[in-house]
Structure 1
Amino acid sequence: MYNKPPNTPAARSEPPFARRANGAKEALTAWERWEMTAIAREPAPSPPPEPKPAPVVAPLKPEVLINDVELAQLRLQALRSGEAEGFRQGLAQGHAQGRAEAVAEVQAEARQLRALAQTLPDALRGAEAEIADNLLALALDIARQVLGQALALDSGAILPVVRELLQAEPALSGAPQLVLHPDDAALVQQHLAEDLQAAGWRIRSDANCQRGGCRVLAASGEQDASLPGRWERVTAALVKTAMHTPAVVHA
């Protein structure tokens, strides 16, 4: 579109080339104004986004050193833990050692019991023999006392003893003498005088003889019928019998 130059006095007085130049200028200026206006009407482009700030890293704080109190507490706690562990270990070791010692003691006692059981029969036999000897001695002592009391009550107990000696074989020779207590001598003289005279025996009184017993002395030998002598022979016979009797061991 062509713009017609203005018809003003100033324009009419300008040369033609000047008017063309001015017209072009005006035309350019109007275009530029239009261009600027048109551009200005468009929305301005958004600015580029600002870069995000880098995250701020807080500086690491140095670890706070523990004080003496906390250190002492930690040491005490460690000590107690060590003591508790040591106590548990020691307790377990003590139990094991105690069990081992108990087992060893029981085994030793068992060996002693086995050894005792093996020697028990011999010990029982020895004990029974000793008890038998003691019982025999006690029985003889009791019998002696009972017999002594019986002889004291029975004044004629000497008579069967003398009769037995008169009938004994072999017969004594060489004027035998019958030695007995004076009380027994009077009794024998009263009841056995003829028997003694026929055998050639003489009566001799001796107060040291115990009543109920006597002795016969002769050139060919001697016969002891005193109470101590007879007890000695009885005791020897009983002991001999006991020695040859096997002991019975009760299980």
Structure 2
Amino acid sequence: MKLLRVGPVGQERPAVMDEAGNLRAISEPEIDGAFLASGGVARVREALERDELPVLESEGLRIGPPVARPGKIVCIGLNYRDHAEETGAPIPAEPIIFMKAPNTVVGPYDEVLIPRDSVKTDWEVELAVVIGRTVRYAETREEALAAVAGYAISNDVSEREFQLERGGQWDKGKSCETFNPLGPWLVTADEIADPQALGLRLWVDGEPYQNGDTKNMIFHVAEVVRYLSRFMVLEPGDVINTGTPAGVALGLPGTPYLRAGQVMELEIDGLGRQRQTVGQA
């Protein structure tokens, strides 16, 4: 099932896409942690099966981020061997964890703003994991995956100078406004047979830069969820960005960082496609 939120910024309303590709309004107040924790996915599925949901007119309708107000965004750094190698970083022995401000989340087609004084704004196509139930101290792969509500595309936009050259932790190069386009859909976990068998791709101005596969993650989704639950309580609505494959500007000759007016396009198998125009803050 594909859940999404549509409408102007700050006025999004929940919807679901049916098998024919139509958008249907759902009666839930939001797609958020409370919705996921209270069995909202099952309620929507039942209403859809009973054909109780009205069709929405989708012409010209903005698609917002599929999850409202994530409690936290937890990110895994250097989780693809080829990405670690292209940046000259050692292969991590344990997952590298950093946080991203929840208010970085925007819709999958919204503008991405280059921060003021930025010279190294970069792209990162990533598989996002959305948590559907509280998980703490998960012991097994099965327990970890049972806590996953679904998956989405995430663009973990990063400012490399802020992140790596200005001291402190990575967060200030990751938490600028608009730095986390998410969506277009939250695809429920039952539709993704194997989260480690998904191709990821990214283009800038039509030129391909990233072409990877989640099978090449150093730490797979189940291990990431299990590992994180040892250090923090994961709650419904939390988002985990699981890392990016090779092909970011940081690791390329000439470091072709983003400029205003450029267009990023991203896709992950089964999860749809994003497109963002780059602007200036």
- Alignment TM class, shorter chain as reference: under 0.3
TM-score, normalised with respect to structure 1: 0.20
Relative to its length, the structure with more helix (as a share) is 1
Whose radius of gyration is greater, 1 or 2?
Answer: 1
- Decide which structure has greater strand share: 2
TM-score (norm 2): 0.18
* More relative contact order, 1 or 2 (CA 8 Å, 6+ apart): 2
